[in-house]
Amino acid sequence: MKKDQAQSRPQGCSNHLVRQLMRGVGQVYDLHLAASGLRITQYSLLSHVLGASPVRPVDLARLMRMDASTLTRNLRPLIEAGWVRMSQGEDQRSRLVHITEAGRAKREEARLCWRRAQNEINSRLGVERVAALHGLIDECLALLDASAGST
């Protein structure tokens, strides 16, 4: 291997770096969303339920790229707050997740906080860098999906 090829290889753990970035970005969102009483994970979950409601938990988990147990754990406080409800699906074993009117109102209240957080991220990182990051993430997710389907 040539010296310049070795120097262009990624150094360190990609997972660690992505998680560091995620924690830093998450802190900005959580700081702004605190005024609404939500964390970014809760806002994201409410937004996905709003867009897909009613939705089977398995489909919601797939949509959000999380495992079923994580989804169940994250739904619990939203159900307890009355923002989301579960109902019986097509048969006794299936369930559907619905957003409630209170959930719609909470999500709308938090949307302005989310917008301020997004504006701060855009300002601190630069709009061009954020757009490039979104594009790179989309490409990487598509590649991971494609390779997962071939295994």
CA distances, 98 to each of 30, 48, 68, 111, 137 (Å): 24, 10, 16, 19, 29
pLDDT for residue 5 is more than 70: no
Query: How is domain 33-149 classified at the architecture level of CATH?
Result: Orthogonal Bundle (1.10)
Per-residue confidence (pLDDT) for residue 2, from 0 to 100? 60
66-122 pLDDT, tens digit per residue, is 999 999 999 999 999 999 999 987 877 889 999 999 999 999 999 999 999 999 999
The CA-based angle 54-97-138, given to 5 degrees, is 80
Report, as an integer, the average pLDDT of 123-143: 96
Rounded to 10 degrees, what is the CA torsion of 70, 74, 75, 81? Answer: 160
Distance CA 81, CA 77 (A): 6
pLDDT for residue 150 is more than 70: no
Tokens 């797939």 belong to which residue? 62
User: Both tokens of residue 58?
Assistant: 């398995």
